A and B are shown apart, each in its own frame.
Chain A
């Protein structure tokens, strides 16, 4: 079966998780650039991202289900003090540094053509998965399709709401869904 490799450097070794560190209220994490490639003989198509409650062993401070509901709620919030969560940017060539304006996401704009904050209805389930944007790779010509030998790149970061009052580690799982023919 086709292998999918997630790495933090181009053509790098596969990662087993992604730790965004410790953050204070109102802080944002450093941006993590993540690379995605496959070893298939054909393109992988209909590629999309979605988030789900942490699978496997949970090592956060609460529960996997509680973390997911809370993080999605941060994304849902329309009041700036309550808004935050996990964000994906699929346009790495035009957004190389942390700057809210370049990501064009806030408590009012929760998704654009190339980026989104995970919230209810967007990236929060397999049915609401977000199609990968072709800007993720110079070799991607079709949204959602990673050709043979191509490497896609995206950025991910976290924003902690300034109103958050419960300290503790949160965990969530990001998932890639795709279609493949051998």
Chain B
């Protein structure tokens, strides 16, 4: 899959949502299984963002279109996971082509990861991992809604 998302489940094989299939209506994030998810990933221009761990997930894209045009372009792409009470620490593992986030209730020293405590106020909110479509810059933040 050149670009698109992947849904990972506890009870079935991963579901691929290649952009080409999403465009033609063959697959849809919102109309395929949303429960029993254990992770999700998104690939764009060879870079991967991924969130791992049990929970509720969502995916969205920000696009733009000029008046009179049918051609749309990506502005940014997002993966989201709803924060659970046991998600005490955000763990980030970054390599040149992959930005992986997962949550843990305890931490151990590892020079290859970044650890960010999760504020208790974030429980129930949506952890959002965003990749800018142009320069592939990555940011993360919390939102109230998916």
Residues of A with Cβ closer than 8 Å to B? Answer: 1-4, 6, 14-18, 34, 41-42, 46, 55, 126, 173-182
Contact = CB atoms under 8 A, between A and B. Distances in A.
Interface in B17-37: 17, 19, 22-23, 27-31
A1 B63 CA distance: 10
9 contacts: A18-B68, A41-B28, A42-B30, A126-B75, A175-B67, A178-B64, A179-B62, A182-B29, A182-B30
B31 to A, nearest CB: 7
Nearest to B69: A16
Top-7 shortest CB links A-B: A174-B67, A177-B64, A16-B68, A182-B28, A1-B23, A181-B60, A17-B68
B64 A14 contact: no
B23 A14 contact: no
A181 B67 contact: no
B59 interface: yes
B119 interface: no
Interface of B: 17, 19, 22-23, 27-31, 58-70, 72, 75
Given A6-B68, A14-B70, A177 B29 contact: no
B67 A34 contact: yes
Contacts of B62: 46, 177-179
B70 to A, nearest CB: 7
Given A176-B65, A181-B58, A181-B60, A4 B31 contact: no
Nearest to A15: B68
B72 to A, nearest CB: 6
Contacts of A41: 28, 30-31
Contacts of B68: 6, 14-18
A180 B60 contact: yes
A132 B75 CA distance: 18
Contacts of B22: 1, 182
Contacts of A178: 62-65
A66 B67 CA distance: 20
A181 B128 CA distance: 14
Given A1-B22, A4-B70, A177 B75 contact: yes
A182 B62 CA distance: 12
Given A3-B70, A14-B70, A181 B29 contact: yes
